[in-house]
A and B are shown apart, each in its own frame.
Chain A
């Protein structure tokens, strides 16, 4: 595939699962009250089990798109379906876990208490809550810190708690909004690897917002390149790096080729213009 004939609006390649799209976005636009077009005519399909990254500079609508999927905002026009349901229905059915830029842990709860919180809100029986929290903390390697308070953990550990919390109620989907954006490069690369392991082990579908090109290439099965003013989908780049990926993946020729492809797509959409 050459860059020139990459469709500006892409439908999902189904080579990974062959299932009908788990997430279906059709001609979705979002215009704020002040007239700012946060997202224009976005169309995207995400199949079950995919790891899709949304990449682009500030103002490209990547966080907006994620918030629309999560029913934290409503589109001005267009339709969104998550497993055949509206985002509001999907939210009420607890179809997704959301991880924000900040860990957003409750100061007054221990690590275990934070993972228990969604389970309490959702009314899981006590024994099951405890069992799930224990399993989730083991999954992110934080069993030993179960009784620590958030302030006693590093930023990376706090974000792992936040991921364990999002997975605790076993949602089909994981929405992640620049979860490692505030972390240093070394911690970020370690957590990238750990996230890929979690993705493999749990079989979740992940939609991941980032503005780091290497992070997007390393993690994703497909990269949705977005550009600002108005926010729109520039192109979708499939990532054919073999699984499972490791630290060495970042040093392969294909990794650099894909990173270059993403970078050029961003430039084509003026993604490198100075932000205002």
Chain B
């Protein structure tokens, strides 16, 4: 708000320009040998020199910007088609957001228990830590099979996998935040004869909000990866992860790069939403 539009977008555009300045020569260098060989084989390409053809190979080593743009457009219309990015990104987003909500609920409960009970901290915290060291790729199919036995199918198991990864940063961040009020603030509440519940509602929880949002941003990225890995490592009918595994099987280099871009974009979008909510919920911050 204090910045003009140019001031906000300027640095971003500079970085984009620098990225392009590095990326374009890389495309040429990476694809040149393949382009030369393909031309020598007499393949039909919409170009006549090896240099020009580095931008038009069917399966390039590194896709050119024009190919990425073409790939995005081809995968975007109609948006509701089973192969289209918008529909699949939508399902991945749903899984991520539901997973995050689940993670926030569980994380909050754990954090409160960690703060209230030394016994809980000693007995359960090591298990919480251990849960995060299990490779999610190994765990995801097991979880899906297990949940499937109880009729939980479709996107929900992926949301649960996302939650499994995302609850950890939220638990640790919130526990830290709930313990952030200093001795004096707690003494002050005591002089007013405040109950433990009042201390939570009026001191610990508001004080933990900045910590919560920092943790939520980390967790959003983690939940998105969880949802995508969940889709990739199990049978899926929708989602960016499903598209990624199909593309990998088809050795579609351009498609895979387009999907990676889509995942990154979805991540930026989701974190921007968390950032917006943070501004709304913590208006007192500078």
Contacts and interface: CB of A to CB of B under 8 A. Distances in A.
Interface of A: 70-72, 91-92, 94, 96-98, 100-102, 104, 106-110, 117-118, 120-122, 149, 151, 169
22 contacts: A70-B191, A71-B190, A72-B187, A72-B191, A91-B191, A94-B193, A97-B191, A98-B187, A98-B191, A100-B187, A100-B188, A106-B185, A106-B202, A108-B209, A108-B282, A109-B206, A109-B284, A110-B284, A121-B192, A121-B202, A122-B192, A151-B284
B187 A121 contact: no
A11 B192 CA distance: 30
Contacts of B191: 70, 72, 91, 96-98
Contacts of B185: 104, 106
A104 B194 CA distance: 16
Contacts, number: 56
Interface in B205-249: 206-207, 209
Contacts of A107: 207, 284-285
Contacts of B282: 108
Classify chain B: how many residues form its interface, as a range: 20 to 34
B286 A118 contact: no
Q: Secondary structure of the B side of the interface?
A: helix
B206 A100 contact: no
B194 A121 contact: yes
Given A72-B190, A104-B185, 8 more contacts: A91-B193, A92-B193, A94-B193, A96-B191, A100-B188, A107-B285, A120-B202, A121-B193
A23 to B, nearest CB: 15
Nearest to B199: A121
Contacts of B187: 72, 98, 100
A149 B184 contact: no
Contact of A117 (B202, B207, B284, B286): B202
B132 interface: no
A206 to B, nearest CB: 15
B192 A104 contact: no
A116 to B, nearest CB: 10
B206 A108 contact: yes
Nearest to A118: B192
Contacts of A149: 284
Contacts of A109: 206, 284
Nearest to A169: B192
B198 interface: yes
A101 B187 CA distance: 12
B202 to A, nearest CB: 7
A151 B187 CA distance: 21
Contacts of B194: 121
A98 B206 contact: no
Contacts of A151: 284, 286
B203 interface: yes
Interface in B25-65: none
A157 B185 CA distance: 18
A88 to B, nearest CB: 10
A169 to B, nearest CB: 8
Instruction: Rank and list the top 8 A-B pairs by shortest CB-CB distance, nearest first.
Output: A98-B191, A108-B206, A104-B184, A121-B192, A121-B194, A149-B284, A118-B192, A100-B184
A110 B206 CA distance: 13
Contacts of B190: 71-72, 91
Contacts of B284: 107-110, 149, 151
B189 interface: yes
Contacts of B203: 106
A75 to B, nearest CB: 17
Contacts of A98: 187-188, 191
B128 to A, nearest CB: 28
A122 to B, nearest CB: 6
Contacts of B192: 94, 118, 121-122, 169
Contacts of A91: 190-191, 193
A107 B191 CA distance: 19
Contacts of A70: 191
A107 B198 CA distance: 17
Contacts of A117: 202
A151 B192 CA distance: 24
Nearest to B195: A121
A104 B37 CA distance: 73
Contacts of B207: 106-108
Nearest to B198: A121
Contacts of A106: 185, 202-203, 206-207
Nearest to B286: A151
A57 to B, nearest CB: 21
Contacts of A110: 284
